[in-house]
Structure 1
Amino acid sequence: MKQIFILFLILSALSPNAQTILEADGKGKTYELINNVLAPNYDVIETPDCAHKDFGNHITETWDADLKKYVFVFHAHVEEDNDRCKKFDRERTEIKTYKQSPDNLIATLGETVVYKWKFKLDKHFQASNKFTHIHQIKAVGGTEDAMPSITFTLRKLKVDAFQIRYASNMEQNNLIDVPLEDFKGVWVEVYERITYGEIGKGKYEVTLTRADNGKVLLNYSNDSIRMWKTDAQFLRPKWGIYRSLQNASDLRDEQVKFADFYIEELEDIQN
């Protein structure tokens, strides 16, 4: 028994950092639940509650019959909402990790991190030809933190598109572009693995799969890609609805569901 216990201690010391999991519980204290997981005693919520007080919290929870569990619902309203009463040409309902989050929830140079989550767009979801983002990897600090490294963007085009956009520095381009229609009305599971580093050491891998039947909707991998920003303190994830109101006539009030957020810091590399 003593030998087994010693072996357990050795394996625990060698194992990757613990996973962080954020799941809805349906108890009604949604903001408290999110903050307690992503930044205990602090606030990771970015919503237009200040502008649209009559609606109440713009992140709620509901029972989902497909997943058979409670899930988060992120709300965005065309007429009433804005970006935290600070910017009025856009609106934001997002969660994030940030400087007050535990160290294993923010990425520093050399770390490899796995992010997993599920999301569901309404079957009638509408995007505009401006930006509608549902996920970003952003830097904090440095000269390039205004431009996300990775962005999941939904865009109205001749064929509406689900885009994964990438910026090495301050200029953004598409990594991959697939029809948006395939993502509507179904739960999509995301696996995203990032090694945070400069060119030659940075890596990015992402797979989006239908949760009901396992069909792969999108897959991309690059083993030599800059996944860092100049003089950044750290990089961190964001999830939710962040969209331009410049072509508001293209938009409608939306509810995007999210579930099963998972963050695991795996290892360091040499930089």
Structure 2
Amino acid sequence: MHYLKNIKLFVYILAGNLLSLNAAAQVVLEADGPGNTYELINSVFAPGYDVTETPDCAHPDFGRHIDEVMDPDLGIYVFRFHIHVTPDNDRCINFDRQRNEIKSYDKSPANLKAVEGETVEYSWKFKLDSAFQPSTSFTHIHQLKAVGGSEESMPLITLTPRKSSTNSLQLRYAKNTSQTTIKQVALAPFLGNWVEVKEKVLYGEQGSYELQIKRVSDGEILLDYSNKSIRMWKTGASFIRPKWGIYRSLDVPSDLRDEVVLFASFSVREGIPTSVKQVNIRENKALKTYPNPASESVSFEYVLRESDHVTLGIYSLNGKLLKSIVNQKQAGGNYIERVDVTDLSAGTYLVKISSGNLNMSEPFIIHKGYN
């Protein structure tokens, strides 16, 4: 297990380094099975540090409040966030609220910290229990929050279920330090269902914001919001970070119950490339991978300036060879190998192209629904 997670960390770092050359960097966090959950999260969101904010200190008998389970509906491992009405609190710091969240922060890689002028796409899935009970005050499950500056205490964007005469899911926005609800929909269609969230932000004083949530089972759009002219920044901020989990008020504990919120397939993608730029591996070689992410097929394009016997292999994160193509190529042009990946599950893979004593490699993502 430790060996697999070390390989995964290497691939994620490699993905960030190579994709940043293409004016895009993507970080993907996928559950991979029980055990070492905190270590997995930290290896992706802040290697060597801790990005979990859990109530473990107040409730050590329960153990870790984030674990991983196989989900029968998605057919993959997912993250399970636990919160208990008692004795959980907010990290043994605040006792009128409870927090079980993951985030990026100042120790995270640069491509997890949004700065002015960047466009970032966030995507993930979540599932609320069919009997989920929100607070009348706040029950946040996602935030975009500034680090630094005079307005950092108020999240820029918040997604929160709220108890009322008709329970709702609210999208809340704070231009400065006062928050308002900019979109509200009934909570009932979300309960007991996996939903997929896609969020796109142009960060800046003259920014833009888009959010769409659709039910996984039938593709029905449950919440849709877009604003092409909106302030998406905070005064004096160093960067904006995402947070996911469950963070709720204890003002009226009788409103609440012990909850489990499921999350899956976190993705943070910085920069929206207009074209695939060539990554020079050596003076006479080049490798391009597109689309990335992909769902049905991936094309690998490379340049040969001399005749070569070329081997292309696709590998899993544990080093297992999944697909292999061997060809004799002649020098003098671009070669494209288009590989069907419909039989591979969503996740991160590595392509290796070998010719002579030269090896080229690049990570790529399979994320169903991109092609």
- State the TM-score, normalized to the length of structure 2: 0.68
Residue 27 of structure 1 deviates from its aligned partner by 3.9
Alignment counterpart, residue 140 of structure 1, candidates 133, 144, 147: 147
Task: Give the drift of 1:15.
Answer: 2.9
Distance of aligned partners of 1:190 and 1:12 in 2 relative to their CA distance in 1, 3 Å threshold = closer
Alpha-carbon separation, structure 2, partners of 1:239 and 1:14: 28
Distance across 2 between alignment mates of 1:12 and 1:213: 32
Deviation, structure 1 residue 18: 2.8
* Partner secondary structure for residue 262 of structure 1: strand
Q: Which residue of 1 aligns with 2:108?
A: 101
Distance 1:93 1:203 in 2: 29
Alpha-carbon separation, structure 2, partners of 1:146 and 1:212: 37
1:226: which partner in 2?
231
Name the residue aligned to 2:330: none
CA distance in 1, matches of 2:256, 2:79: 21
- 1:68 has 2:69 as partner: no
Distance 1:128 1:68 in 2: 31
C-alpha distance in structure 2 between counterparts of 1:132 and 1:18, whole Å: 31
Inter-partner Cα distance in structure 2 for 1:53 and 1:104: 33
* 2:119 paired residue among 101, 104, 112: 112
| Aligned-residue offset at 1:63 | 0.5
> Identity over aligned residues, as a percent?
60
For the pair 1:261 / 2:263, whether they are aligned, the reply is no
For residues 108 and 86 of structure 2, the distance between their equivalents in structure 1, rounded to whole angstroms, comes to 33
Q: Give 2:22's aligned residue.
A: 15
Q: Which amino acid aligns with 1:102?
A: P
Q: What is residue 59 of structure 1 aligned with on the other side?
A: 66
Give the 3-state SS of the residue equivalent to 1:32 in structure 2: helix
- Poorly superposed stretches of 4+, deviation over 4 Å: 11-14
TM-score calculated relative to the size of structure 1: 0.92
1:181 aligns to 2:181 (yes or no) = no
Residues 63-116 of structure 1 show CA distances to partners (whole Å, capped at 9, x for unaligned) of: 100000100000000011000000000000000000000000010011000000
Q: CA RMSD in A?
A: 1.4
Counterpart check, 1:47 vs 2:54? yes
Q: Is residue 211 of structure 1 aligned with residue 213 of structure 2?
A: no
Which of residues 165, 168, 182 in structure 2 aligns to 1:161? Answer: 168
Name the SS of the counterpart of 2:232 in structure 1.
coil
Inter-partner Cα distance in structure 2 for 1:220 and 1:145: 24
Amino acid at match of 1:89: D
Query: How many residue pairs are counted as aligned between the two chains?
Result: 256
What is the aligned counterpart of 1:84 among 91, 101, 109?
A: 91
> Per the alignment, do residues 79 and 215 of structure 1 end up closer, same or farther by CA in structure 2, a change over 3 Å counting?
same
1:188-231: CA deviations, max 9, x gaps? Answer: 10000000010xx2100000000111000000000010000000
* Inter-CA distance 106–124: structure 2 relative to 1 (3 Å threshold): same
Classify the secondary structure of the residue corresponding to 1:182.
helix
**Residue 37 (structure 1) aligns with:** 44
Of Structure 1 and Structure 2, which has the larger fraction of its residues in strand?
Answer: 2
Match of 2:159 in 1: 152
Of 246, 251, 256, 1:241 maps to: 246
Trace 1:191-206 onto structure 2 (pairs within 5 A).
191-198=198-205, 201-206=206-211
Pair member with larger Rg: 2
In the alignment, which residue of structure 1 is the partner of 2:369? none
How far apart are the structure 2 equivalents of 1:191 and 1:149?
Answer: 17
Counterpart-to-counterpart distance in 1, 2:272 and 2:153: 27
Matches of 2:31 and 2:114, distance apart in 1: 24
Q: Which amino acid aligns with 1:264?
A: R
Letter in 1 for 2:140: H
Aligned: 1:171 with 2:178: yes
Q: Which runs of 5+ in 2 are unaligned?
A: 1-17, 274-371
Residue 13 of structure 1, CA deviation: 7.9
